[in-house]
Structure 1
Amino acid sequence: MLKVIKKPGVLGFIDRVSEDAISGWSLSPYVTVVVNGRTRCRLSCNRPRADVKKAGLSLSGNVGFHGTLALKHGDVVRVVTPKDVPLRHSPWLFRHPKQSDWLPIAISHQHAEYKAVASLPDQLLVDRFKPLFGQSAERRMAGAVLNVANQAPVMARFDVEPKAHANVMQLYDKVITPSRIAAPPLLAAFSQERHMLQMFAFQPGITLEEVGNGWEAWVPMVMAQLVTLQQAGEVGRSALKRRYSRFKSLLHKLFPSVIAQALREGGSRIELTFFVFLMRVTARLPRVLSHGDLHRNNVLIDTQQQQVALIDWDRWAYLPLGFDVALLLRGLPWAAVETLAEKRVDQQLGALVFTYLFQCLDVAHFMRSEEAAQLRARIYKLYKQFKMYPGISQ
């Protein structure tokens, strides 16, 4: 099992939510508990938490909170700091242990959290649903699994920008479907005021992030899908024209974020010069058709059928080789990333360049660590090989 490097600066966790209570911890002086969009209470964070103190996250360890609640099946509990930053595990969907994971459609008309479900087209004949919360800072409900009368369950995505929908449709029509990329089929779309409702075939399984120990064993299957995607993208490069939408590639803000982080940490001229070098390297890497947002929550694993599926294609683009791989393996030590990446110099170079950038953001003072020095040396060595033999295997 490869150990994932933990990010610093955790503001707190929700540990447990029951029918009548909530508990957790936060480094903030207090947290606000919101249920179904309405503020329920404010809890002081001053209870002893020896585990948090032992982990080195608090000097005193007096950061715990506990409060009483009266919850019903399907209630959505959010806990935020005074700066409105959600704790880990927020939102927490409360499910009564004696009831089904499915929620009745009637509940959508009672809770503000489920207003997107309440506005579903009548012709869908939905009687039950399972909410899916997005990965954005707001963690609002981005979709739901719908139980539709007389057919298999479907997965709905809400509030999709029309231009973003057009981009996804184009990719499905010209690449994903004809090349048989492992992705849930796009079944239909409905116009809702200024947004679109997308309907996908339901894909069973759990996310790669949820697999736990041994998740790395699934990486080769994901890598095979990326190779197929890149090959199809090369064939259809002239036909794919991405329209502007709010779903930009994560790459466009990566370098500015890393440089800003370096300046906050008092980065030296040598470190800043290395970032300029990395910009030149990424400019020379091949641009290949990429998923663009391939974190581990966007990879579904069906352990019974031994299959993978890639979801949420809104940020697809032609990006430098290695970006998808580095994002997928984000948090692993760079030596593990190189081992799991495809054995080509350009692929390994790209994966390690973006791994360096991600670790600058994820690990405090990474640039001054011995590991960073070793990674810089490895990148320089691969770049020399890349200039001589761009596509050679290691």
Structure 2
Amino acid sequence: MLKPIKKTAVLGFVDRVCEKAVSGWSLSPYVIVMVNGQERCRLACSRYREDVKTAGLSLCGNVGFYQKLVLAHGDVVRVVTQQGVPLRHSPWLFRDSQRGDWLPMTLSHQHAEYNAVAELPSQLSVEGFQPLFGQSGRRVAGAVLQVANQAPVVVRFDVDHAAHTNVMQLYDKIIKPRQLAAPLLLTALPQKGSILQVFAYQQGVTLDKIGNGWEEWVPMVMAQLLTLQQAGVAERGSLKRRASRLRSLLYKLFPLVFAQALRENFNKRELAFLLVLVRITARLPRVLSHGDLHRNNVLIDTQQRQVALIDWDRWGYLPLGFDAALLLRGLPWHAVEPLVGKNVEQQLGAFVFTYLFQCLDVVNFARSEEAALLRARIYELYKQLKPDAAKSK
């Protein structure tokens, strides 16, 4: 039996950008390298990559690319497929090691990527900045600012008014009173039809960048989620989320999985199981959730042994287990179980969403032995839940 080829959430990775070269791999036939928004070259993805083949992401392994580049301090390198889809780790900010981490404000007027920094309000006396990128946007999503005579701050650009109202409400009613581990929201400034949010700078690196052993930080994150859920029970009547374009991935998840099922020609039994998952999700308790808790939204301060959760725009009352499954996305279900605790409903929710994420991330996952074992575990937990669910009716 042929080993199935895994499908990643993106079509490749940028491995490294240095002063003289860019390298990585992609399942696309070729990639486009852009520097500061301008196309620099097109590269065929044909170099042999043993690591990609061993990981089960390519049958032949001929997916690598490499190209010499000449870069200057502050240049932004984007590597995208021919359809314009960015590879993982793109965009990549190149910094000259001799010039430090901070970019001069003069640079913000030279690159279109930094226009948002150039438009900062005059009341912020900024001496330098470090851009924070979104995955696909042309403008930076935010920046760390070196402000005269005070500690650095983090700003988020182009926040719509409804999204800002939602975040302010959560901070006022939940995050501040319960002292959740999150950067302080210092102020908000109006800016051309949107809001500029200013947060206290939080020391640390994202959980995604911790590398091997990142799972050891999960219990600290789970403790924060428990505090959030308990606070959500007390404030359920007073928290009113306004309609916003920023909604949790949950609302796209089932449509995406059903579309994937049709593309992969799921049989009737597999489609029926997806409908079972819909029913289970409807029975799970709704708890106050972060809503976007992927590992890039968890900051780890390894020196102080602390965690902080960032980017609260997509909070809401979501099924128990969703946050945990998103945080642990990519782990096999048997590795998820010991990390989510012993609460049956939380385990069930985490497994339901783990199954759905695996359907999206791994080709033909539903037909694998791993999926069969996970389905059996979900049914086992669901039988434990059903009597309680019946009593509540």
Structure 1 47/211 Cα, relative in aligned 2: closer, same or farther at 3 Å?
A: closer
Residue 248 of structure 1: how far off its partner (Å):
1.1
The aligned length equals 385
The question of whether the paired residues in 1 share the 8 Å contact of 2:6 and 2:57 is answered with no
The question of whether the paired residues in 1 share the 8 Å contact of 2:178 and 2:231 is answered with yes
Letter in 2 for 1:303: T
Which residue in the other structure is 1:33 paired with? 33
The question of whether the paired residues in 1 share the 8 Å contact of 2:6 and 2:363 is answered with no
Query: Is 1:65 the counterpart of 2:60 in the alignment?
Result: no
Distance 1:274 1:166 in 2: 39
Deviations 1:279-310 (A, max 9, x none): 11111111110000011111111111111110
Query: Is 1:318 the counterpart of 2:314 in the alignment?
Result: no
Residue 137 of structure 1: how far off its partner (Å):
3.8
Residue 57 of structure 1: how far off its partner (Å):
4.7
Structure 1 53/291 Cα, relative in aligned 2: closer, same or farther at 3 Å?
A: closer
Letter in 2 for 1:114: Y
Distance 2:210 2:41 in 1: 34
Structure 1 49/333 Cα, relative in aligned 2: closer, same or farther at 3 Å?
A: closer
The question of whether the paired residues in 2 share the 8 Å contact of 1:168 and 1:314 is answered with yes
Distance 1:218 1:264 in 2: 37
Structure 2 residues not aligned, in runs of 5+? none
Structure 1 22/332 Cα, relative in aligned 2: closer, same or farther at 3 Å?
A: closer
Letter in 2 for 1:33: V
Distance 2:274 2:294 in 1: 23
Distance 1:166 1:129 in 2: 26
Distance 2:60 2:346 in 1: 46
The question of whether the paired residues in 1 share the 8 Å contact of 2:49 and 2:61 is answered with yes
SS of 1:327's partner is helix
Deviations 1:59-94 (A, max 9, x none): 555544333332110000111221112223211111
The question of whether the paired residues in 2 share the 8 Å contact of 1:6 and 1:331 is answered with no
Residue 46 of structure 1: how far off its partner (Å):
4.0
Letter in 2 for 1:306: R
SS of 2:78's partner is strand
Structure 1 236/364 Cα, relative in aligned 2: closer, same or farther at 3 Å?
A: same
Residue 354 of structure 1: how far off its partner (Å):
0.9
Letter in 1 for 2:66: H
Letter in 2 for 1:325: A
Distance 1:10 1:176 in 2: 33
Deviations 1:189-228 (A, max 9, x none): 1111111110000000011111111111111111111111
Distance 1:44 1:226 in 2: 44
RMSD of aligned alpha carbons: 1.9
Letter in 2 for 1:241: K
SS of 1:381's partner is helix
Structure 1 385/55 Cα, relative in aligned 2: closer, same or farther at 3 Å?
A: closer
Which residue in the other structure is 1:15 paired with? 15
Distance 1:376 1:49 in 2: 34
Structure 1 residues not aligned, in runs of 5+? none
Residue 14 of structure 1: how far off its partner (Å):
2.7
Distance 1:10 1:250 in 2: 16
Which residue in the other structure is 2:189 paired with? 190
Structure 1 54/336 Cα, relative in aligned 2: closer, same or farther at 3 Å?
A: closer
Distance 2:280 2:123 in 1: 52
Which residue in the other structure is 2:251 paired with? 252
The question of whether the paired residues in 2 share the 8 Å contact of 1:291 and 1:313 is answered with yes
SS of 1:117's partner is helix
Which residue in the other structure is 1:177 paired with? 176
The question of whether the paired residues in 2 share the 8 Å contact of 1:145 and 1:155 is answered with yes
SS of 1:72's partner is coil
Letter in 2 for 1:229: L
Counterparts of residues 221-370 of structure 1 (less than 5 Å): 221-370=220-369
Which residue in the other structure is 1:202 paired with? 201
Distance 1:356 1:59 in 2: 25
Counterparts of residues 44-123 of structure 1 (less than 5 Å): 44-49=44-49, 51-52=51-52, 57-58=57-58, 61-123=61-123
Distance 1:31 1:84 in 2: 9
